[in-house]
Amino acid sequence: MEIHLIMPLSYDAVLDEMVATAREAGALTLEHFKRFRDLEIGIKGPADFVSDADRESELLIRDRLMGRWPDWSFYGEEFPPTERGDAEHRWLVDPIDGTTNFINGQHYTISIALRRGNQTVAGALYNPVSDEMFTAIPGQGAFMNGERLRVSQQADVALFAIGTGLPTPNLQLYPGAYQRLDAIRAPIGAIRIVGSAANSAAYVAMGRLTGYFEETGFSDTAVGILCVQEAGGVVTDWWGRGPEIYEQTGTLIIANAATHAYLLEHLKDVPRKNPK
């Protein structure tokens, strides 16, 4: 009888390439970003300003990674997916996460996840403004510029710092955003809007936030989720359920254990976009 063994792949070399690619996309987008004050003189509208940078970033990432691994499919936020032969591996990329921040000259991130089946097997998340590179491989830990990350051990509610996103023009698409602030605010220490879901998750992994919650897209958060899990944090949807739910709905709590318990208790009954 013939026996087929599925060999575990090492993704270390792949991650090196992801990091180099994220740095290149960072340098490219920074060139656009530095000109954000041109928006005041109306050379371009905000949508064109950010979409030029977004699209160039995605093309750079796609060309570089697909050039190296031509059989792996590619899913980015800007262009239709490119399907390839390998049934298991695919890239999941957000070429600029935090587009409103970008328009306003504030921190944004570039997120590159490699998915194998339904697992993220390597992730690189880069903030070009602060030059912070977050990386993770399952079972090997999460790192920022090579330094091992641990989530905050803070269990005192009065010192919780909780991140979220706050829609402004498209409120009808995100019902309940302001009620949620009201539901969680007392007696926690702080609410912060970092302006990039990916960066918010990275901040949880390194302890700048004790937790983060939002209804957002999985391509924004795939790498951040892996970083937090590898840094000892907890990731579920708002009712404590796992990836089979939150990867579809994006209704996420990403936090240390104590903040996670607090958010589960306080978010369960507030309005949200995705049905429970």
SS3 12: helix
Binding ligand IPD by CB under 6 A: which of 17, 56, 58, 214? 214
Q: Which region, judged by CB under 6 A, interacts with ligand IPD, from 12-20, 55-63, 212-220, 223-231? A: 212-220
SS3 230: helix
Rounded to whole angstroms, what are the CA distances from 171 to 82, 98, 101, 117, 273?
32, 17, 18, 34, 10
Query: Residue 61 or 258: which CB sits closer to ligand IPD?
Result: 61
Binding ligand IPD by CB under 6 A: which of 216, 236, 251, 259? 216
Within residues 21-40, the interface with ligand IPD by CB under 6 A covers none
Cα–Cα dist 162/171, whole Å: 21
**Applying CB under 6 A, does 58 fall inside the site for ligand IPD?**
no
Backbone angles phi, psi at 126, to 5 degrees: -125, 130
Backbone angles phi, psi at 193, to 5 degrees: -110, 100
Binding marks (x or -) toward ligand IPD, 186..205, rule CB under 6 A?
A: ---------xxx--------
Cα–Cα dist 205/233, whole Å: 7
Query: Residue 89 or 180: which CB sits closer to ligand IPD?
Result: 180
Query: Residue 152 or 196: which CB sits closer to ligand IPD?
Result: 196
Binding marks (x or -) toward ligand IPD, 79..118, rule CB under 6 A?
A: ---------------x--xxx-------------------
Binding ligand IPD by CB under 6 A: which of 56, 220, 230, 237? 220
Within residues 133-172, the interface with ligand IPD by CB under 6 A covers 165
Q: Is the peptide bond before 187 cis (omega within 30 degrees of 0)?
A: yes
Query: Residue 70 or 81: which CB sits closer to ligand IPD?
Result: 81
Cα–Cα dist 13/239, whole Å: 37
Cα–Cα dist 86/71, whole Å: 5
- Least distance in angstroms from the C-beta of 22 to ligand IPD: 15
Query: Residue 160 or 212: which CB sits closer to ligand IPD?
Result: 212
Query: Residue 102 or 160: which CB sits closer to ligand IPD?
Result: 102
Joined together, the tokens standing for residue 121 give 């097997």
Q: Which region, judged by CB under 6 A, interacts with ligand IPD, from 29-37, 128-136, 209-217, 267-275? A: 209-217
Query: Residue 46 or 138: which CB sits closer to ligand IPD?
Result: 46
Cα–Cα dist 210/258, whole Å: 8
* Residue 14: count of CB within 10 angstroms of its CB: 20
Cα–Cα dist 152/206, whole Å: 7
* Residue 52: count of CB within 10 angstroms of its CB: 13
Binding site for ligand IPD (CB under 6 A): 94, 97-99, 165, 195-197, 214, 216-217, 220
